[in-house]
Copies of this chain bind each other. A is one copy, B any other.
Amino acid sequence: MAGRVVLTKDRHEPRIHDVAALAGVSVATVSRVMSNPAIVSKAAREAVERAIVETGYRLNVTARNLRQRQVGAVLALVPRLANPFFSQILSGIAEVLSERKLNLLVLDTDGPVLTGRPEALGAWLTRSHADGVIVLDGRLGPELFASVHCPPVVQACEWIAGLDAPRILADNVEGGRLAVRHLAELGHRYIAHLAGPAGNSLSISRRKGVERGFEETGIASEAAELRLSGEFSLRSGNAAAADLLSNHRQATAVFCDSDEMAIGLVHGLAGAGIRVPHDISVVGFDNIEMSAYALPPLTTIRQHRHRIGRKAAETLIALVRQEPCAPETILPVELLVRDSTRAPR
């Protein structure tokens, strides 16, 4: 009997056709039961549902995607996947996407395959690879996304000059301003700014806030030139300590463009016998989880990375659906005062 052997290994996975045959309907009806049950009669629907269970049928997503000319996935371009800063944004993105049954694809733009030849990235920026792209790397060139093959793009956190795609940003200007005002109110007049790499979009905005803070508090002349730069990392923060001590001895406080740099800086200062906040005050940026547990716990500017990720994903989905969406969304930041700042001696 043909029907008896059901569980042989070599029999192919059940397809929609098999379900249809067992339920005694056409494949179109089976498809409708899965996508829009309301339009099929109760009898047929139940027969199909039984047949699905009985055959152990699973939809082939690739086939559906081909027909519907979609991919069912969104690509996230992250500068350094190993960096905790980004993982929390990704987590926000992942949250929204999985609600929409979309997959999250991750590409490390600093991975060995891509480094050195950014044009290789172009191969991934295709409508057949992803329905949309979320860029977290501000270093990429705008021309990469200019191709007609490139799906809709949203920028989050950092932004790319010349790229006309919606941006989801923290209020970096306000963050810089808050940090400086906090320090100025404590009585600091010589405030150094440890920024990111030259040209980084985050640092540019924050610098603007810093200078606004200087003006508002009337300390522009003293503080204006106390500038350092790093690359957001612990290591570069640590290295900045030496720079600070040799070139900017008058500084009594440092505002850092990332918590990691701040923690690295504190470490470096400690190595030179300088204690925070006793000798120098330090303010970070980001409020990474670690900052609350650092010694001393770090005063910092909190940005809601998870929320940025969520908003970026939501904006991208709107963009893909051709719904209207704001060209720029700025999410609020707040100052968290902990123990790394106090009045200068």
Seen from chain A, the residues whose Cβ lies within 8 Å of a Cβ on chain B are 13, 56, 58-63, 65-66, 71, 73, 80-84, 86-88, 90-91, 94-95, 98-99, 103-108, 111-114, 126-129, 148-149, 234, 237-238, 263-264, 266-267, 270, 289-290, 292-295, 297, 306
Chain B nearest CB, measured from A308 CB (Å)? 13
- A104 CB contact (under 8 Å) in B95, B98, B105, B127: B105
CB <8 Å contact, A128 and B266: no
Counting from the closest, the 5 A-B pairs by CB-CB distance are: A84-B84, A81-B91, A82-B88, A82-B91, A87-B87
CA distance A103 to B90 in the complex (A): 16
Nearest opposing residue in chain B for A297, CB measure: B267
CA distance A58 to B147 in the complex (A): 11
Q: Please name 27 pairs of A and B residues whose Cβ atoms are closer than 8 Å in the assembled complex, sorted by A.
A: A56-B148, A56-B149, A58-B126, A58-B128, A58-B149, A59-B128, A62-B62, A62-B65, A62-B66, A62-B71, A62-B128, A63-B66, A73-B103, A80-B91, A82-B87, A82-B88, A82-B91, A87-B87, A94-B106, A94-B107, A94-B111, A98-B108, A99-B112, A105-B105, A105-B106, A234-B292, A267-B293
Chain B nearest CB, measured from A31 CB (Å)? 15
